[in-house]
Amino acid sequence: MRHVLRQHWPEYLIEAAGLGLFMVSACLFVTLIEHPASPLPQAIGDPVLRRVLIGLAMGLTAITLIYSPWGKRSGAHLNPAVTLTFFRLGKIEPWDALFYILFQFAGGATGMAVATLLLRSSILSHPAVNFVATLPGEQGVAVAFLAEAAISFGLMLTVLFVSNSPRANRYTGLVAGALVAVYITLEAPLSGMSMNPARSFASALSAQQWTAIWIYFTAPPLGMLGAAAAYVGFRGTAAVLCCKLHHENGQRCIFRCRYGVQTTGDQEP
């Protein structure tokens, strides 16, 4: 464990920082677009159009993180469900998977703490923002669970098909970001659009609002694991080349990688 931590700590910190930045971005954009003190809610009266803007902002945030030098190095999982799925597919070592998940949770919570310092708790606690918490919609918890599982399945299946194609791998971040934007626009009224246990935990911790948190700890992993099973059924286990969302970038790869000649995790960072 100590050897792994000493060798791969940069990737772990990148995962924490990446999700932390995502949470800060979510708080900033939702506050700007939804808080009544902002001019935008008055200028844009249609809530669907406001969700479109939030979706675009968060989709671009995801794309920026994936294609950043940091995201290229860690693989830009930023999500325990993603890491767990790649672990199930045999592409990440057990200790790396554990530290990725721990640092993702820590990073999400830290990001919310930073956002609270920047924007103040009184602003983030307003019902229009509510610490960007993910909560079931009016249709109830059953619909929220199914919706979370479905969008998680769709995201992971798409990522697997695109990222494991050497010809299309470079576009994985664009596709993933586009799906985030579409999901926020269309699915958010059903479950709040999480797909990420660490992201939902971070908001719930800040808001001290744990309503149906079990949905966001179970549905995303189940949906993504289901997508992995479907992909292996279509293409076979050998078709899974790596677990970086963007691989051909010159950064070292610490995973069980089959993308040609790779940098191994035995090298010093």
pLDDT tens-place string over residues 39-65: 999 899 999 999 999 999 999 999 999
Per-residue pLDDT band at 260 (split at 50, 70, 90): low
Residues 128-179 pLDDT 10s: 999 999 999 999 999 999 999 999 999 999 999 999 988 899 999 999 999 9
Q: How many domains does the chain have?
A: 1
**How high is the mean pLDDT of the chain?**
93
- Among 74, 118, 107, which residue's Cα sits nearest to residue 251? 74
Question: Is residue 22 pLDDT above 80, yes or no?
Answer: yes
Average pLDDT over residues 89-97: 95
Angle (deg, nearest 10), helices 197-207 and 80-88: 150
In the DSSP assignment, the letter for residue 244 is -
In a domain, 252, yes or no: no
In this structure, is residue 264 part of a structural domain? Answer: no
183 falls within a domain: yes
The pLDDT value given to residue 267: 37
For residue 229, the domain's CATH number is 1.20.1080.10
**What is the tens place of the pLDDT at every residue in 25-40?**
999 999 999 999 999 9
pLDDT at 269 over 50: no
Cα–Cα nearest to 67, from 161, 171, 155: 171
Q: What is the pLDDT of residue 268?
A: 36
On whether residue 102 sits in a domain, the answer given is yes
* Least confident among 4-18, 57-71, 99-113, 129-143: 4-18
For 56-60, 67-71, 257-261, which range has the lowest pLDDT when averaged over its residues? 257-261
Domain annotation covers residue 267: no
Which pairs from 172-175 meet CB under 8 Å and 24+ separation?
172/66, 172/245, 172/246, 173/62, 173/63, 173/66, 173/67, 173/71, 173/76, 173/245, 173/246, 174/63
Of the chain, the percentage scoring pLDDT greater than 70 comes to 96
Average pLDDT of the segment spanning 224-250: 91
Q: Are residues 143 and 219 in contact, defined by beta-carbon separation less than 8 angstroms?
A: no
Per-residue model confidence (pLDDT) at position 261: 39
Is 265 inside a domain boundary? no
What is the rounded distance in angstroms from the CA atom of residue 118 to the CA atom of residue 115? 5
> Does the pLDDT value for residue 264 go beyond 80?
no
Is 163:49 a contact under the CB 8 Å cutoff? no
Contacts 24+ apart (CB under 8 A), 36-40: 36/126, 36/128, 37/123
H and E: helices and strands count for the chain:
12, 0
Q: Is 166 helix (H, G, I), strand (E, B) or coil?
A: coil
**256 within domain boundaries:** no
Averaged over 179-187, what is the pLDDT?
98
Task: Give Cα separations from 237 to 39, 80, 108, 169, 184 (angstroms).
Answer: 51, 21, 31, 17, 31
Range of the domain at 116: 2-239
Closest CA to 70 of 10, 140, 25: 10
pLDDT value at 211 more than 90: yes
Residue 19 included in any domain: yes
Q: Note the pLDDT of residue 247.
A: 81
CA distance 71 to 165: 19
Comparing C-alpha atoms, which of 268, 245, 240, 269 is closest to residue 256? 240
Contacts for 94 with CB less than 8 Å, ≥ 6 apart: 87
